[in-house]
Amino acid sequence: MVRVAAFGVFLVVLHLGQPIVIPILLATLIAISLSKILDLTEKGVPQWLAIALACLAAIAVVTGLGFLTTRAATDFALAFSQYRGDFDRLQFELASWFWAQGLGIPATAVEQFDPGELVRGLTLPGLTMALSVVSAGSLVLLITVFLVVESGSIAKKLAGTDQLGRVDVQTLKGAARDVQRYLLIKTMTSAATGLLVASLTSVVGLGHSLLFGLIAFILNYIPSIGSILASIPAISLSLITLGWLPTLGLAAGYGLINLLIGILIEPRWAGKATDLSPTVVVLSMVFWGFVLGPVGALLSVPLTIIVRMTAAQSTEWSWLAMLLGSSRSMRTSA
């Protein structure tokens, strides 16, 4: 009972400490992903060169993603006022339809709605979000560089012991390898999704292809519903600016991309890397999203992999590892 209470307190601390915990988690996962570069020392590459390459890769990833996100969000926020005419047209058509159906109250509400308030409400948060991405990215980058630089000494310290508290060191290394493999697969499929979405929105003529591609790339890290959430902004804007027919084509394109990558390709690759049951993947998204917010949903699978492999080393928590694992892992253990 005491341990359950302690675990609850730990979750509360994580929830309240999001401004500190989230950059550390992001930096740790990026550092784990870059550990493949550090493994080049086993092939004769000098350690200082491997660390320098890993740091340069971290700088390129964080600054590149931050720059593209900032530029796309800012351009969209500044261009949003250009859609005022489309808003007015849609507002008139919708109000006319309500009046034709004899629905006076909804029609009046639509006529009194001011699209300018919506524009201002979305523009300022968009610029604020862009600035927050840059500031958070700077902290993540700083922590990542320190972790990469210190990785050599950390490896030497772990090499001298088999246990880190109650956790086996080899288990931690195994968890790091699984997380690394999952992040590699997820990044590849997310990049493919982002490129396909950017191409789709460009072909349809929606515009802001960079923004919608980045949204698809980032939200694809959220299991199950990420690709669906990524389609909502583009489909909504298409409905306002292009009309019904192009919007139906755009929605069909999003559905085809999700079918190809999210249902056919990714589960076959990522399932082998995570060794988690599909139900656990969805529940972990909900759980970590509640504890750490939207970023928790993005990081839910790597965090659950670490929890599962750590629990497997404890006789007290082995049941949790069994529940989190897939049916394939149960057949293997049997």
Looking at the structure, do residues 201 and 100 belong to the same domain, yes or no?
no
Residue 11 lies in a domain: no
φ, ψ dihedrals at 168, nearest 5°: -70, 135
For residues 106-131, give the mean pLDDT: 59
Residue 143 lies in a domain: yes
Looking at the structure, do residues 205 and 239 belong to the same domain, yes or no?
yes
* Strands 167-168, 163-164: pairing kind: antiparallel
Looking at the structure, do residues 83 and 42 belong to the same domain, yes or no?
yes
Domain extent, residue 58, equals 18-160
pLDDT band at residue 21 under the 50/70/90 scheme: confident
How much of the chain, in percent, has pLDDT values that exceed 70?
Answer: 75
Residue 42 lies in a domain: yes
Looking at the structure, do residues 116 and 198 belong to the same domain, yes or no?
no
- The residue among 160, 192, 222 that closes a domain is 160
Looking at the structure, do residues 172 and 312 belong to the same domain, yes or no?
yes
pLDDT band at residue 198 under the 50/70/90 scheme: very high
Residue type, 225: I
Joined together, the tokens standing for residue 37 give: 């570069």
The dihedral of CA 258, 278, 224, 249: what is its sign? positive
Looking at the structure, do residues 206 and 286 belong to the same domain, yes or no?
yes
pLDDT band at residue 328 under the 50/70/90 scheme: low
User: Per mean pLDDT, which range of 57-66, 267-276, 298-307 is the poorest?
Assistant: 267-276
Looking at the structure, do residues 218 and 143 belong to the same domain, yes or no?
no
pLDDT at 229: 83
Whether the pLDDT of residue 14 is over 50: the answer is yes
CA geometry: angle 25, 18, 175, nearest 5 deg: 25
- The residue among 135, 160, 185 that closes a domain is 160
pLDDT at 219: 84
The mean predicted confidence, pLDDT, of the chain is: 76
pLDDT at 332: 47
Looking at the structure, do residues 194 and 285 belong to the same domain, yes or no?
yes
Residue 130 lies in a domain: yes
User: Per mean pLDDT, which range of 218-227, 269-278, 306-315 is the poorest?
Assistant: 269-278
Residue 59 lies in a domain: yes
pLDDT at 256: 92
Looking at the structure, do residues 131 and 266 belong to the same domain, yes or no?
no
Whether the pLDDT of residue 330 is over 60: the answer is no
For residues 284-306, give the mean pLDDT: 84
The domain total for the chain is 2
pTM of the model: 0.75
Looking at the structure, do residues 213 and 189 belong to the same domain, yes or no?
yes
Looking at the structure, do residues 154 and 170 belong to the same domain, yes or no?
no
Q: How would you write the chain as a 3-class SS string? A: CHHHHHHHHHHHHHHHCHHHHHHHHHHHHHHHHCHHHHHHHHHCCCHHHHHHHHHHHHHHHHHHHHHHHHHHHHHHHHHHHHHHHHHHHHHHHHHHHHHHCCCHHHHHHHHHCCHHHHHHHHHHHHHHHHHHHHHHHHHHHHHHHHHHHHHHHHHHHHHCCCEECCEEHHHHHHHHHHHHHHHHHHHHHHHHHHHHHHHHHHHHCCCCHHHHHHHHHHHCCCCCCHHHHHHHHHHHHHHHHCCHHHHHHHHHHHHHHHHHHHHHHHHHHHHHHHCECHHHHHHHHHHHHHHHCHHHHHCHHHHHHHHHHHHCCCCCCHHHHHHHECHHHHHHHC
pLDDT at 285: 85
pLDDT band at residue 132 under the 50/70/90 scheme: low
Count CB neighbours of 246 within 10 A: 15
pLDDT at 254: 92
pLDDT at 243: 78
Question: Tens digits of per-residue pLDDT, 52-90?
Answer: 888 888 888 878 877 777 777 777 766 666 666 677 777
Joined together, the tokens standing for residue 215 give: 């949204």
Joined together, the tokens standing for residue 321 give: 């590892």
- The residue among 128, 160, 192 that closes a domain is 160
For residues 12-41, give the mean pLDDT: 81
Whether the pLDDT of residue 230 is over 70: the answer is yes
pLDDT at 126: 46
Residue 1 lies in a domain: no
d(CA 93, CA 110): 10
Q: Shortest CA distance to 265 belongs to which of 190, 180, 175, 183?
A: 190
How much of the chain, in percent, has pLDDT values that exceed 90?
Answer: 6
Whether the pLDDT of residue 211 is over 60: the answer is yes
d(CA 164, CA 40): 26
Check residues 87 and 247 and name the one with the higher pLDDT: 247
Looking at the structure, do residues 297 and 229 belong to the same domain, yes or no?
yes
Residue type, 308: R
Check residues 278 and 305 and name the one with the higher pLDDT: 305
Check residues 294 and 164 and name the one with the higher pLDDT: 294
Residue 154 lies in a domain: yes
Residue 2 lies in a domain: no
pLDDT band at residue 235 under the 50/70/90 scheme: confident
pLDDT at 133: 53
